[in-house]
Structure formats: C-alpha cells, structure tokens
Amino acid sequence: MRTLLIVLTAAEILLFIGALALFIHWIASSLRRTSASLAKVAFGVRAIETQAAPIGPGVTKINGQLATIAGALEGVAALAEQVGANGESPAGPGDARLQGRER
C-alpha cells in the first residue's frame, strides 16, 4: 500500500510539472508574439517621429505670421466700426474697385 502511494505521488508530481511546463511554454510563445508586435509598433512610431519632425519649425513660423495678421485685423475692425458708425463708404470717390458694388 505504501508503495502505491509513493508511485501515485510521483505520478502526480510529474503531471504537475508537465502541466507547469506546458503553461510556461504557452506564456513564453505569447510573450514572443507580443514582443514582435511591439517591435513593429516601435518602428512605426519612429517613422512617424521622423516624418513629423519638420512640423515644429513650420508651426512656429505660421504662429508668428498669424499673430501679425491678428494684430492687423484689430486695426481693420476698428476702421470698419468707425465707417459703420459714420454711415460712410470706405471707398473714396476715386476708388474704382468699390464703385460698382455700392449700387
């Protein structure tokens, strides 16, 4: 009886070690696939970073130009308010560009 218990215990230990090895192998293969996917993602992110690098200086230049335009628009808005309050046309009598539009 004692021999049977020893044999069954050894078989149970071997079965447990086999199941453990199987799950460790499954986890390792899953980690390999994840590593390959992450490598592709990292490659793509580096490519995007390289292609987007010129955007920074361009945005700075555009922001400077937009600030200049915004400053000019304040003067234009003040002039438009003045013209609207006086009921005058912004074009003088010799301004041919706006004369056809005023009729």
* pLDDT level of residue 93 (50, 70, 90 thresholds): low
Half-sphere exposure of 10 (CA within 13 A, CB side): 6
End-to-end CA distance of the chain: 118
* Burial group, residue 91, by CB count within 10 angstroms (0-12, 13-18, 19+): middle
On the question of pLDDT at 89 being above 80, the answer is: no
Which of 19, 37, 38, 39 lies closest to 27 in space, CA to CA? 19
Residue carrying the six token digits 């912004």: 90
How confident is the model over 67-87, as pLDDT tens digits? Answer: 999 988 988 888 888 888 887
Who wins on pLDDT, 10 or 75?
10
Check if the beta carbon of residue 61 is closer than 8 Å to that of residue 53: no
Q: Say what the pLDDT of residue 103 is.
A: 44
How confident is the model over 17-49, as pLDDT tens digits? Answer: 999 999 999 999 999 999 999 999 999 999 999
